[in-house]
Amino acid sequence: MNISRRGLLAAGGALLFSSAVSRLGAAENKRRFRIGACDWSIGQHQQLKALEVAKDLGIDGVQVSFDDAGARYDLRKDEVRKEYAEASQKLGVEICALAMGVMNNVPFATDDRAEKWLTECVRVMEAMGQKIVLLAFFSKGDVRGKPDLQARVIERLKRVAPVAEKAGVVLGFESWLSADDHIRILDAVGSPALKVYYDVANSEGSGYDIYREIRQLGKDRICRIHAKENGFLLGQGKVNFPKVREALDDIGWSGWLVIEGATVSGKTLAECYIANQKYLRKVFDA
């Protein structure tokens, strides 16, 4: 049998990820909530070292960026996925989701590259055993108050969603939109592969009622939650995390709380994130 080196790497990477996910997932099943962090928030955007940093900070998992094609740690590469799998297994730090922050500068609504890259990401997720990717709709990709762009997003998601469904993965929509607008877009696409990646600080900053919105969206529409503050440590800012916990209890939601932002002047990033994860563990019994 003639098997290429690329094929061997792909098979080996898939096996490693399967083993790591199975082993780390056993711990997840025992805890209702787990604590993660975005690789960019801990200063390691699209870097393998994010897993090592997370380990040092006492964090369970990392949301890993799927961005620039051709970068050193581009997950499109079989050998890079293998490196992540080996590091995850060695450190006991899980990859809790992927993220396409690149859509903030390459808008999904208007740039054909974004749709192509998302389809590539779905294939990568399938190879890695990953279930959720964040789709960012901020900066140049912002669609708030822009019904024409929202219509284009819906049209494009209708093309990608069936591919995601077949791969068994979820596209997590994160934006400045209200729960009402998120639900409208989810209903228009009409796919179980599209859910909301809910960011509590974005919602608070937009003037939405976080605690009502969580209940409105419900268990089945929220795939992940960003535990975030702007300019404050978690528990010291504008978001009432005990009330977030109450809302999640009401809808029976469980999963990853992924820390983003939540740094303050006068403290190192490490000090901030150690404090943030300890606070979340106390509030959420994680």
CATH of the domain at 272: 3.20.20.150
The answer to whether position 171 is within a domain reads: yes
Q: Residue type for 99, please?
A: A
How buried is residue 163: exposed, middle or buried, by Cβ count under 10 Å (0-12/13-18/19+)? middle
Domain span including residue 208? 33-284
**Range list of β-strands (E), the chain:** 33-38, 61-65, 94-100, 132-137, 170-175, 194-199, 222-229, 255-261
Residue 82 lies in a domain: yes
Average pLDDT over the chain, rounded to an integer: 92
Asked if the model's pLDDT at residue 221 lies above 50, the reply is yes
- 180 within a domain of the structure (yes/no): yes
Total domains present in the chain: 1
| Within-domain flag for 25 | no
Closest CA to 117 of 150, 48, 151, 71: 71
Does pLDDT of 210 surpass 50? yes
Condensed to tens digits (0 to 9), the pLDDT of residues 175-205 reads 999 999 999 999 999 999 999 999 999 999 9
Reported as a single tens digit per residue, the pLDDT across 31-66 is 899 999 999 999 999 999 999 999 999 999 999 999
What is the rounded distance in angstroms from the CA atom of residue 89 to the CA atom of residue 247?
Answer: 34
The predicted pLDDT at position 2 comes to 44
Whether the predicted pLDDT of 6 surpasses 70: no
Q: 164 to each of 117, 138, 223, 279, how far by Cα in Å?
A: 13, 22, 14, 35
- Give the C-alpha separation, 281 to 34, whole Å: 8
- Has residue 12 got a pLDDT over 70? no
Is the pLDDT reported for residue 9 higher than 80? no
The reply to whether 22 falls in a domain is: no
| Band of residue 13 on the pLDDT scale cut at 50, 70, 90 | low
In a domain, 27, yes or no: no
Q: Which residues are paired to 65 by β-bridges?
A: 99
Is residue 28, in this structure, part of any structural domain at all? no
In a domain, 16, yes or no: no
Tally of CB atoms within 10 A around 4: 8
Task: Give the pLDDT band (50/70/90) at residue 15.
Answer: low
Residue 113 has φ and ψ, to the nearest 5°, of -65, -35
| 19/266: higher pLDDT | 266
Split at pLDDT 50, 70, 90, the class of 68 is confident
